[in-house]
Amino acid sequence: MASTTVVGLLGATGETGTSIVNGLLEAGGLTIIALTRPSSVSKPAAVALKDRGVEIRALDLKASQDDIVTSLKGVEVLISAIGPMEQLEQIPLATAAKTAGVKRFLPCGAMPVVPAGGIHMLRDVKEIVYNHIKTLHLPYTIVDVGWWYQIAFPPLPSGKIDYALGLPNPCLPGDGSQPNALTDLRDIGRYFAKIVVDDRTINKYVFVYNELHSPTQIFDLMEKLSGEKLDRQYDTLEELQAKIADARPKIAKDPTNFMLMVQQVSAEYLISWGIRGDNQPEYAKYLGYVTSKELYPDFKFKSFEAYLRDEVMAGKAKGVYDELRAKIVEMHKTH
């Protein structure tokens, strides 16, 4: 691909989308177009992107195919980082991308490694999108990113690091021994910047990650760095399955209830990476992924321990999902 590749990005102001924008800008040599709802074109977040050299272009996923095709004019690589409740809106987007001549589509993956077929609700919804892309013969790359550093650590008894907690879970899944692949959220965009100009990743599933740590190792590390003793409570498989069984019929009656989806998806994640051990590079390779360690062995990143020590413990970390955090805490209290 030429160094002037035109990259279109949906969801540019979300947590993952922001990382992708930052990574693409840092890499340089790319024309970046933030594809946003017409109602959001003039919002402060979009204006801030424009000030950084990102083109802002309106795209309405509920518009006609002709209008979506027009919005995609000139885009060579299309990246989607849209929200979990919007995944199926990528089906008309993919169809329009094929008509518009997009050379490669990176749909919204960006999750831990999970096999398709009943293990994880969100993974199965994404699979519907992936299958549609394949029926179009549209070149694609699926990028999964493991578990973020920013949501991988538990709270401390003192409350010292509550400001930085992402999606707090005070319990260890299973016996806490399963290794889990972790990636710094800020590195996701740096990986994407390499992938979009790398022809080796076309029509491939790519798993990017920095390090492996089990929940027990993370609790040990937190105790070492903080000097505090953590109360180790465990989520059993049966307890997590009960949360899923509680959520499913409620979601069937109220499919737009985001917090019910969080309840089910969170429990499914803990079963997948914490008990089954899905989110590991060897399992990813078994499923057919190529890993970032194979593709980019010289990729430099901050270790998870350094992140905890130099940022979280030092009061310098940036929290994620600020609006959702309080609701997650309350959900854990009531279950």
Which residues are catalytic, by number? Answer: 126
Q: What are phi and psi of 231, to 5 degrees?
A: -80, 120
Cα distance between residue 330 and residue 23, in whole Å: 34
Q: Extract the runs of DSSP E, i.e. beta strands, from the chain.
A: 6-10, 31-36, 55-58, 77-80, 104-106, 141-144, 147-148, 171-173, 180-183, 204-207, 211-213, 233-235, 290-291
Q: Angle 15-27/185-195 helices, nearest 10 degrees?
A: 50
Task: Count the neighbouring beta carbons within 10 Å of the beta carbon of residue 42.
Answer: 11
Whose structure tokens read 């499913």? 248
In Å, what is the CA distance from 116 to each residue of 31, 123, 125, 160, 285?
A: 34, 6, 9, 39, 15
